[in-house]
Structure 1
């Protein structure tokens, strides 16, 4: 803001006006004016909202010298700041006046002494020197008097303008409050207009489009829903499937054996305490966090769910049976179908989970030992704090290993929150030595400002078998009110290394996935985007590969946890002292003692900061934090070339011995 170039407009003093449905004008009231046009009224409104938010932020940056962004406590009265400055100025002028009196006193004495010397009637060079000194002393007195008078004039001017400064500061603060109120009102009006538009669209819709499901998937849309709009044409299917010739059905027999379930040896809990009905306005906190990284915002536990990100990461194993089945497959292409379905299944737990997991402390761990019940055991560790990163390693007696390191990047955009998981997931199968990798898609939380929160998943996943070259391209379609497709749709095609399609997958990320074997493929059918012809796949009858487990009774009052999630924070003997189950603020929150949990959370975070400062002092010459993970070591991944943390062993052996001497004290 302090170094502008020609043609810029300072947002802090800019005027933003709406011209018509799609046009708007930004002006600084002088020579610079921008006339801008959006493609539609909705897009124009998004720009207006974003600019008003930026304008409020710019005004705040000018008015306040601190950059903490913490507006929870009321600002000090503006006149107190100005009066304090004036008092300081006044005291300085008084000091100058005292100095001036001393200068006058000593100057008069000096001139008297010079007059006495002059009365001696010295001649020659001595007399000239005395007259020169007398003139300089007189000039010095005149200059000092002028300086004092200038200081008095400055003080008088400051006092005269103090009321104007006070009014200007107060006007800026009032304007910020008005902007915040206007923005919230604007969001409500926008929401009302969208509901009215949806009502009109439903009234005029053709019979075959009335079955399109909204965020509630077929249920009546909540009156507070505030949905993002997408161009429905962009979300048209990339390919078309048609039934194959009946002769193929006779020659190909489906083979899918039901998974063998073992009865759990330990009875695990099926309930946690109900979520307390504490009200807290999310907007009051989030309005000052627009554009910031979510992991750097100190959020109270009121917006959390009582599990950590490490436990949430362990929930990826809820449908481990898909990997068990994949390990038994003789065909790598069929195995790819199960791996792809597994990559989709991890999102099914998120559909109603609007709570934020606890950010793990550096060095925090979480073990999930289900070896006796389901054949696998899993370990997560928080290996980095800036950026926050968690490493995960799971191994199964049924022939597979899963590992991943996930860093979550997130941005608050005003109406919605985008969460972008960064990192690669690896699945390795012992029997075939097939090594698969894929990444996660973007999660979006809608209706942050007003309305009922709802979650969408969108983006594309490429599941790659690095051993055979097989590939599955999955597409998660973003929700669109105008689309006739089922909501939360996922489609995919399994291809070999030569690009030949063998299986088509379809379904939804919150309910089920099916796969069909491709008998024939051809170009033709409807034209897709940009006039390209879509591929038509002739397929056998679809077979269900994955279906979501039913929710436990009373899930809506237990943070919409799944049956597995309900057991994740259950107290367990023998786990490491750094395990998430032992985290006190999380335990207090689960028990409904949220005030105590918030106080404990602040204590733990300050303890973590102190530990980091101590490490930095010990390694003052190091260019960065020298922290090293306990159970994972940093190295280059031979498949992806990424710098990752890979499990180095020792955790389960230490657990058997009950030896946790190397664990840091983080709680």
Structure 2
């Protein structure tokens, strides 16, 4: 009995000792973790002392690291930048796509060219909604009906309006439009305008669909150099969006409109924008151009890839200059692709700047050759003007006190921003029904009686 008793007592003591050892080890690890955290905090404070300065005026607030930045070592900077902006502008959405967009673009380059959707969960979610849409109104979609006239499921949307996305494509205006204004050489001015138009294309592509703007909806924002942005939805069917950029001291005035259309073709979506873009400088020179087509493949199955196709034509009639940009210049077509392989990726571009004098139509003089990609870099005669790793864009800053019709006041948008899909879907249906009712009133002109 005594031996059993002592064994039990020894077991109890060993258990107590083990428990004490575990507690001591936990305490030691906690103290170590606390020390590491304090060191990291001190490093961050010392690193960002001179980076972020809180100012009272919106014009003086400069975002040091843009929300489009992609460097992995800048992630902490970008988090703090997002917090700083969200406190100033509570209706500005926090979006990880904006924080890592540039890195995201480079990592998801498709093998044959273009931008691929690599997020498998997002792709599955979108395909479920797309298949439901095909089952419900499949005939209308397959017949090529305009997608802008079809009510889409709320699960396909992102929490912002198309007018907000449109402003993102102007992100290089403070750099390249300023350079174009300062350059007195017409050829050099045209080069910078071309870079401004091409470099901002990739910023208008996101995985989710933005909300269709309501007739009369507006969006106001600006850049840190004082450039003001105004967007407005001026037509319901077909949907037309007008935009206007006014540079500081009215150095440049950029305006235009886009009549958007999109059609479903099997497993593909083709999007187009009719309408011209015009840029007026203070000295009187005018440059105009058109926008390319958008091609999205792999909507229902396969790899989801987005590309720009077609041509862009830039005109400077006062200086007899014209530039033609061709997207995917090495495209072989269906029959040639069977026998030959494509050397350049699909996101490549090529073009020339030449004279448009009516006397020299037959013998056009080429002033410069354009090469590169709308994703990676753009060069003229071997000289790089834009590189995605070196030239960071600037995100537009929303107006602090915009008009009541501003996109940031949309109830469906703000509900989706809070991840409330049910109320966002209900609000979206209410807004669409109201717009259809107002459209019928305008058609019948009953409001004049």
Tell whether the structures are fold-level matches, with TM greater than 0.5: yes
Please tell me whether residue 272 in structure 1 is matched to residue 103 in structure 2: no
Is the 1:273–1:591 contact (alpha carbons within 8 Å) kept by the matching residues of 2? Answer: no
* 1:496 is the counterpart of 2:363: no
**Which residue of structure 2 lines up, in the alignment, with residue 400 of structure 1?**
252
Alignment partner of 1:322 is 2:176: yes
CA distance 1:513–1:434, shift in 2 (3 Å): same
The CA deviation at 1:606 is: 1.3
Cα-to-partner distance string for 1:438-464 (whole Å, 9 max, x where unaligned) = 111110111012023210111111100
SS of equivalent to 2:395: helix
Distance 1:620 1:577, change over 3 A: closer
Match of 2:233 in 1: 382
- Relative to structure 1, the CA distance from residue 497 to residue 322 in structure 2 (aligned partners, 3 Å threshold; closer, same or farther) is same
- Partners of 1:479 and 1:581 lie apart in 2 by 42
Counterpart position of 1:293: 146
Residue in 1 aligned with 2:408?
A: 581
Between the aligned partners of 1:493 and 1:549, the Cα distance in structure 2 is 25
What displacement does 1:467 show? 1.5
Preserved CA contact (<8 Å) 2:169 2:204: no
Secondary structure of the corresponding residue to residue 317 of structure 1: coil
Q: How does 1:133-172 map to 2 (within 5 A)?
A: none
- Larger radius of gyration between Structure 1 and Structure 2: 1
Q: Which secondary structure does the structure 1 equivalent of 2:184 belong to?
A: coil
In the TM superposition, what is the alpha-carbon distance from 1:273 to its structure 2 partner? 5.6
2:281 maps to 429
Q: Is the 8 A contact 1:505 1:514 kept in 2?
A: yes
Give 1:365's match in structure 2, choosing from 206, 213, 218. 218
TM superposition score normalised by structure 2:
0.65
Deviations 1:238-290, CA, capped at 9 Å, x for gaps: xxxxxxxxxxxxxxxxxxxxxxxx96358424971669969334123136112
2:340 maps to 1:543 = no
Deviation at 1:312, TM superposition (A): 1.8
- Is the contact between residue 172 and residue 394 of structure 2 (CA under 8 Å) also seen in structure 1? no
Task: Report the counterpart of residue 412 of structure 1 in structure 2.
Answer: 264
Q: How far is the alpha carbon of 1:361 from its aligned partner?
A: 0.4
In structure 2, the partner of 1:506 is 371
Q: Does 1:337 align with 2:191?
A: yes
Say if 1:477 and 1:488, in contact at 8 Å, map to a contact too: yes
CA deviation map 1:322-343 (0-9, x unaligned): 1111111111011111111122
Give the Cα separation in 2 of the matches to 1:550 and 1:413.
38
Instruction: For 1:420 and 1:397, locate their aligned partners in 2 and report how far apart those are by CA, in whole Å.
Output: 31
Contact 1:479 1:488 in 2 (8 A): no
Q: For residues 330-378 of structure 1, what are the alpha-carbon distances to aligned partners after superposition, in whole Å with 9 as ceiling and x for unaligned?
A: 1101111111112211212245x232221100110001123xx122101
TM-aligned CA deviation for residue 621 of structure 1: 8.1
CA–CA distance in structure 1, aligned partners of residues 152 and 172 of structure 2: 31
State the Cα deviation string for residues 301-332 of structure 1 (Å, max 9, x = none): 21122221111221221011111111111110
Measure, in 2, the Cα distance between the counterparts of 1:580 and 1:617. 28
Native 8 Å contact 1:551 1:563 kept in 2 = no
- Indicate if the aligned counterparts of 1:365 and 1:578 stay in contact, CA closer than 8 A: yes
User: 2: CA distance between counterparts of 1:440 and 1:357?
Assistant: 19
What do the CA deviations read for 1:563-596 (whole angstroms, capped 9, x no partner)?
Answer: 727x66xxx5411110001011011112221221
Say if 1:333 and 1:573 are closer, same or farther in 2 by CA, change over 3 A.
closer
Aligned partner of residue 350 in structure 2, secondary structure = strand
**CA displacement 1:624-653 (0-9 Å, x = unmatched):** xxxxxxxxxxxxxxxxxxxxxxxxxxxxxx
Q: Pick closer, same or farther for the CA change 1:281–1:344 going to 2, 3 Å.
A: same
Cα offsets for 1:177-209 (capped at 9, x unmatched):
xxxxxxxxxxxxxxxxxxxxxxxxxxxxxxxxx
Structure 1 length normalisation: TM-score? 0.45
Report the equivalent of 2:295: 444
The answer as to whether partners of 1:456 and 1:479 remain within 8 angstroms in 2 is: no
Residue 598 (str. 1) matches residue 415 (str. 2):
no
Higher relative contact order (CA 8 A, sep 6+): 2
Q: 2:314 aligns with which of 448, 463, 483?
A: 463
Cα distance between partner residues in 2 of 1:452 and 1:550: 29
CA–CA distance in structure 2, aligned partners of residues 550 and 406 of structure 1: 30
Aligned CA distance change for structure 1 residues 621 and 607 (closer, same or farther; 3 Å): closer
Question: Does the CA contact (< 8 Å) of 1:348 and 1:548 recur in 2?
Answer: no
1:3-82 equivalent positions in 2, closer than 5 A = none
Identify which of 483, 497, 500 aligns with 2:342.
Answer: 483
The 1:563–1:306 alpha-carbon spacing in structure 2 relative to 1, beyond 3 Å, is: farther
In structure 1, the residue corresponding to 2:195 is in which secondary structure? helix
Query: Aligned residue pairs: how many?
Result: 319
CA 1:334–1:587 in structure 2 vs 1: closer, same or farther (change >3 Å)?
Answer: same
Instruction: Assess, with a 3 A threshold, how the Cα gap between structure 1 residues 484 and 592 changes in structure 2: closer, same or farther.
Output: same
Aligned CA RMSD, in angstroms, stands at 2.8
Residue 15 of structure 1 corresponds to which residue in structure 2? none
- Segments of structure 1 that go 5 or more residues without pairing to the other structure are 1-261, 517-541, 553-561, 623-667
Residue 271 and residue 582 in structure 1: after superposition, are their counterparts in 2 closer, same or farther (change >3 A)?
closer
Task: Tell me how far 1:470 sits from its aligned partner.
Answer: 0.4
Matches within 5 A, 1:187-206: none
Compared CA separation, residues 573 and 333, structure 1 to 2 (3 A): closer
Q: Does 1:356 align with 2:209?
A: yes
Query: For 2:440 and 2:428, how far apart are their aligned partners in 1?
Result: 19
Distance 1:417 1:495 in 2: 34
